[in-house]
Amino acid sequence: MVKLSLIQFAPEISNKSGNLKKIEEFCKKSQGDIILLPELATTGYAYPNTESLLPLADKLTQNQEIVKYFQDLASFRDSLIVVGLPEVSEQEGKVSLFNSVLAVDKNGIVEVYRKLHLFGREKKIFTPGSQKPPVFSFRTYKLSLLICFDWVFQELFRLLSLQGVQVVLHSANLVLPWCQRSMIARALTNGLFIATANRIGREREGLDELTFTGGTQVVSPQGELLGALNDDESILEVEFDPAQADKKTIGTNNDRIKDRREDIYKLEWVVKSSHDWEDLKKMAVKAKSNAYTPYSNFPVGAAVMDDRGFIYGGCNVENSSYGLTMCAERSAIFSMVEDKGRKIKKMVIASNSGVYPCGACLQVIAEFADEAEILILNNNGDEKRCRLSDLMPHRFSKLDLT
């Protein structure tokens, strides 16, 4: 069983220290193993532009003051705190502002999620996220994070359910009337718990006044409301067993996940998470099982990741003329190129004995890589790691043609 505390309150615009103080009081009162707070809980919502919010935004890396603040709060009852706040990030001299949630425990940052689907004027203020929502463990439970308007995009819930997520922690500043009752269908048809912590209160946005709707709630995989607040400042405490989400059956003959017709429709992440190598290894091994090798009986699978994080598989394809046989490595690269990929970052090559790529493949890899990390896998799962430059120290390239 996990205890969830959802905190519904009205952050005061521009009063960050006041809001943090209030959050601290709430957190200390909460009984939850997990404490979920609304979107932009430290700063309030309706800023006119990026510049006005930027000074209140935090970097979300370990040892930042704000992280330590929540880390201390999480230590108080050994809980996981999930809080919405503006995140500033500097990369290659470019400053970006994200609408993020931070998940933190007594050891520091667990995950950061940057809102993928920005709502209304947020589009003018924030940079949208570019990574899929994290899937992570807390105790024995599998969790993920979403923010407010993300709720409209059903693909997220389905994909998280397919990844085994049991509880979606949804941090919100809702102003539209539809989310809360729609979450019943989202939870039910994906078979997971959805906890929405929404704020209350009003803020002026230009000429409009925004009214945040409260209605903080937790919905079960059976579409039941396990608890809900109205529009007052309050904590919702709900206890349930996340493992119930593992049961996807409906009645005796149906299953919300297994009954999906993957032969008819296909849903998948385009962007992969940080577990690149695991994804690549899996794909290479799977590709190997599809190799067409009636002549050599020497199957090889390959998976390549480009600089956009997209991954492609390939297997060897033999031919009765022998000379037109194609290697797994090149086959994967050709798929990448067809999908606009032009730069190889990582590659996994899987074969029974763990062979290195042939010279022809090295030449084609070199066409699309300044450098590439290559992992060679054999049947026993033994790994050899190398770089293109180890395998082909002197390259012939298009530069030699000019």
With respect to its own copies, which residue has the nearer C-beta, 199 or 256? 256
Which of residues 63, 247, 275, 292 is near its own copies by CB under 8 A? 292
Active-site positions read 39, 115, 148
Count residues binding its own copies (CB under 8 A): 83
Say how far apart CA 251 and CA 151 lie, in whole Å.
27
Which of residues 65, 206, 266, 380 is near its own copies by CB under 8 A? 266
According to CB under 8 A, which residues from 27 to 56 bind its own copies?
A: none
Contact flag: residue 340 with its own copies (CB under 8 A): yes
Q: Pairing between strand 383-387 and 344-351?
A: unpaired
Tokens read off for 115? 């809102």
Tokens read off for 377? 């896998």
Contact flag: residue 391 with its own copies (CB under 8 A): no
For residue 357, give the nearest of 277, 302, 292, 279 by alpha carbon: 302
Say how far apart CA 376 and CA 284 lie, in whole Å.
10
According to CB under 8 A, which residues from 358 to 377 bind its own copies?
A: 360, 363-364, 367
Supply the minimum distance, in Å, between the C-beta of residue 364 and its own copies: 5
With respect to its own copies, which residue has the nearer C-beta, 14 or 154? 154
With respect to its own copies, which residue has the nearer C-beta, 35 or 183? 183
CA dihedral (13, 14, 17, 20) positive or negative:
positive
Which of residues 16, 142, 158, 199 is near its own copies by CB under 8 A? 158
Contact flag: residue 115 with its own copies (CB under 8 A): no
Contact flag: residue 8 with its own copies (CB under 8 A): no
Cβ neighbours of residue 143 closer than 8 Å, sequence gap 6 or more: 34, 80, 103, 135, 136, 137, 165, 166, 167, 168, 169
With respect to its own copies, which residue has the nearer C-beta, 160 or 236? 160
With respect to its own copies, which residue has the nearer C-beta, 157 or 240? 157
With respect to its own copies, which residue has the nearer C-beta, 60 or 159? 159
- The enclosing H or E element of 180 equals helix 179-190
The answer for 92, left when phi > 0, alpha when psi is -120 to 50, beta otherwise, is left
Supply the minimum distance, in Å, between the C-beta of residue 123 and its own copies: 6
Contact flag: residue 294 with its own copies (CB under 8 A): yes
Which of residues 130, 211, 230, 353 is near its own copies by CB under 8 A? 130
CA 364 → CA 220, 285, 287, 302, 395, distances in Å?
51, 21, 19, 14, 11
Residue with tokens 């105790």: 139
Q: Pairing between strand 34-36 and 2-8?
A: parallel
Cβ neighbours of residue 261 closer than 8 Å, sequence gap 6 or more: none
Which of residues 181, 202, 385, 387 is near its own copies by CB under 8 A? 181
Contact flag: residue 397 with its own copies (CB under 8 A): yes
Q: Per CB under 8 A, which region of 31-39, 98-106, 164-172, 268-276 contacts its own copies?
A: 268-276
Find the distance separating the first CA and the last CA of the chain, reported in whole Å: 67
Supply the minimum distance, in Å, between the C-beta of residue 155 and its own copies: 4
CA dihedral (92, 96, 100, 103) positive or negative:
positive
Contact flag: residue 186 with its own copies (CB under 8 A): yes
The answer for 307, left when phi > 0, alpha when psi is -120 to 50, beta otherwise, is alpha
Which of residues 50, 154, 234, 273 is near its own copies by CB under 8 A? 154
According to CB under 8 A, which residues from 245 to 264 bind its own copies?
A: 250-254, 256, 259-264
Supply the minimum distance, in Å, between the C-beta of residue 217 and its own copies: 14
According to CB under 8 A, which residues from 297 to 326 bind its own copies?
A: 313-315, 317-321, 324, 326
According to CB under 8 A, which residues from 191 to 230 bind its own copies?
A: 223
